[in-house]
Amino acid sequence: MDYEGIRDFVKKEWFLFTLIFLYLILLLRDNSLLQRTPGLIDWRNISLIASLILVSRGLELSGIFTRLSSYLISVSGGSGRRLAFILLLTIAFSSSIIMNDTAMLIFIPLIVTISKVSEEDLSSLVVLSAIAANIGSALTPIGNPQNIIIWNSYAIPFHSFVLEMLPFVLLWLLLLLFLAYLIFNDKIERKELPPVNINTSFLWTSMILLVGDITFAQGGKALWTFPITFGVFLLIGREVLFGFDWGLLLMFIFIFVDFGEIAHILSSSGVSFPNSGVKLFLTSAFLSQLVSNVPATILLLNEGKDWISLAAGVNIGGTGLIVGSLANLIAIRIGEVETGKFHRYSVPYFLLTLILSIFILHLSISGS
């Protein structure tokens, strides 16, 4: 590999190298981290993510994304604004059922394909899609890992969780659609393409595996997802395995290790955190910018009854910096969006929704 190739590789994998560098610093601080590393990795989530990467690749190779891209451009009437509304609402709704990370692994490749078909730069739509996935997933207890943790820890009835989070999600979604309205106003033209043949074998296999992944994950058997998916594609579609993104998987592994260790350091240092109200909300939102929202949730779980402030904080915390949520990292990785462009939209959105959410939180607390 020549110098140019090495430079391009490092530029592409800059976040992975940053995580590795952070791991080495943490290792120098405490060399026992090397032995504790396997225990810091959430192997169930890693297995599920790896399986979904393969499923997404299978759907891409089936040709269905190209076919859907042309259809969505036609349905939108060539309006970039209408296309954005359709995709953002679909992603938000889907994320509440299939989880935000899954939604990104399915929809971001579709947006990339639409971008290629139309020859338009849709990187802004990738950013807003990540935000849509994060806020849509906030609605239900099964929408993302932090909600699952809160739901199980506080033994909240499913319908109560949804009703309490609904005002927040509606506010966040309305603000996102308003942002999309301001950003997208150009026409999107569909370029003439040769007829796309759908590989039905890849399509149906990937769809069945996707349903299986979701079913296994919700049944607490996520560890089985990758071995099953890998085995199926090994038998009927090895082309899918050749396109596996190992860099993305390694990135997730180091995220669990690095941020898990940072959360452990904060927890064992005797630092006390608020356990209710606006202070808990703000703490959870900003802490998510440092250690991501799942480790922040674990760190802030308490014996009190104010789960709403925690849930609202860690969920809106996922819409800020890219490290706030794994869904953000998936989006910028697959969509090849620069960090600066992601933060150009995400940070102002995060700060605005943070301020406005305080009013809803006050109403929720006073009414309970």
pLDDT for position 4? 66
pLDDT for position 61? 81
Q: At what angle do helices 246-268 and 293-300 cross, to 10 degrees?
A: 30
Where exactly are the structural domains of the chain? 37-367
How many angstroms from the chain centroid is the CA of residue 306?
25
pLDDT for position 274? 73
pLDDT for position 316? 95
What type of residue is 245? D
Whats the size of the chain, residue-wise? 368
Question: Over its length of 368 residues, how does the chain's per-residue pLDDT go in tens digits?
Answer: 566 666 666 666 777 888 899 899 999 999 899 999 999 888 887 888 788 778 878 877 887 776 776 677 777 777 788 888 988 998 898 888 777 887 888 889 888 888 887 777 888 999 999 999 999 999 988 788 788 778 877 778 888 889 999 999 999 999 999 999 998 877 776 655 556 678 888 889 988 998 888 788 778 788 898 999 999 999 987 888 887 778 878 887 887 888 778 878 877 777 777 777 888 999 999 999 887 888 788 778 764 668 899 999 999 999 999 988 888 988 988 888 888 999 999 999 999 999 999 988 887 766 65
Q: What ranges in the chain are assigned the alpha helix state H?
A: 3-12, 14-29, 33-40, 43-62, 64-75, 80-98, 100-118, 123-137, 145-154, 158-183, 200-218, 225-236, 238-242, 246-268, 277-291, 293-300, 307-317, 326-335, 339-367
80 to 76, 118, 124, 190: CA distances (angstroms)? 7, 11, 11, 12
Q: Are 245 and 104 in contact (CB under 8 A)?
A: no
Structure tokens at 265: 């350091």
Q: Rounded to an integer, what distance in angstroms lies between the CA atom of residue 172 and that of residue 179?
A: 11
pLDDT for position 128? 95
124 to 52, 255, 318: CA distances (angstroms)? 24, 25, 17
